[in-house]
Structure 1
Amino acid sequence: MTEYSISAIIVDDEPLAIEGLKLRLQQIPEVKVIAEAEEGDTAIALCQELEPDVLFIDLQLPGINGLEVVQAIQADVMPLVVFVSAHSDYAVDAFELNAIDYILKPANLGRLQQTIERIKERLSPVDREEEKFKLMEALGKTSGLPISELEDWLATDAPLPTALNQELVIKNSDNQRVFVPMYEINWIDAAGDYMCVHTSSENYIVRITMKKLTSQLDERIFQRIHKSTVVNIHRIKGIERLRNNQSIVDLGDNVKLKVSRNYNSAIQNILDNRATL
């Protein structure tokens, strides 16, 4: 295992500038300079061959400039980019290319150490795993899929197994079609010949049967807990068991719904589903 964790290529048309930057980077233990270039075409070839973690590149180069070099490098071998320049004129253009930093010459050791800290944070496997988990968690909440299934999907080229913004299409009391995102629905209950669809911002009264309405719902997100009630399992804050073999689910905001005996097994389904997310 190498003692270096960050591989770098330096690109500058001035050999003395390359040497000065290299000497400073050598004082930072985590960094190893693996190649140097004095013009853009060579820099592109080196990046494609060596796939460095970071590219320190001057903006003013013979032939194609530093901005054009970054634009020309293929995305699958794209290193983090630090522009090093004697001028601040191109800073905006540089950051539009997602450069991680823009350093003015001459770069002192303290300034370079700040840059390396940014690079370490961006390259950290822990951070990447945390970001991946947050993404999976967000997708789970909106799609209704367990994280394990989303991770399997991520390893393939297949489309997301269920629509990320799946919608319930209903007609309201004015006979207008309304498109309600599934993940916004908190619970649904029956009121005579009508169904009431509850969201955090609005309630929709719809003339439809429970059977027809539930046929449109994703069973991984919605659980029937009573002959007249369906809940979004992601909205459940707690479950209280009652002595008469019934239960109460707490949706927060003073909303508590009764689970009938006939649907008592639904409680275990809810717990199982929540445990896999």
Structure 2
Amino acid sequence: MRVLIVDDEPLARARMAALLGECADVEVIGNVGDGEAALAALGELQPDALLLDINMPGIDGVALAQRLAGRARPQVIFCTAYEAHALVAFELGAADYLLKPVRLERLRDALQRARRRLADAPREPVAYLHGRLRGEQVRIALDEVICLLADEKYVVVQHRRGELLIEESLRQLEETYPDQLIRLHRNCLVPPPRLLGLKTLADGRVLARLDGSELSPEISRRNLPAVRKLLRLG
């Protein structure tokens, strides 16, 4: 099981990594200090489980879990010093809720619960976009896409390994994948998990901050309420 530790206290992250070192079949693939860094790491590291603190600067643990609610992977295991959020955690579908200081046997039980849930989760079919690269037909998994930009008669697919031109229009893609793409502007679609936040410029324009890219596409006034709602509700 691939585990990402998310906690704003370096000593807590080190202790959790040490505990995980005593758990069978567990690989600690990284540790980060806040929810925003965790979002950025999710697409790159693809963890099976998050060991997630709650009280953190910026995006806290509950807000991060809200964004991940309904997804089979990663499983969320809260690790916190406070009991107050336990009900909310389980309403969000957390695999477990551990109180600090975390005991090794309790951690092993939580990881086993997460493993069972991963094994029982139905596998989602992988969606692919098809295009041409240097004259050859290629495909890109939709979950690798960072954004889709209209460019005359083609759409440019920005993905983790480069770019790809496809012939489908943004409207066709939006209709085909209504739950997997959100429109920012008439010339831009993005997968919701890629949205990290917003940046408002002095002239009032609002730009999107995207996971995995320095590109900051503009959000139209028409689409801004839906984007704000998505970020607020996860």
Report the TM-score when normalising by structure 2: 0.49
Report the TM-score when normalising by structure 1: 0.42
Q: Which has the higher contact order (CA 8 A, sep 6+)?
A: 2
More helix by share: 1
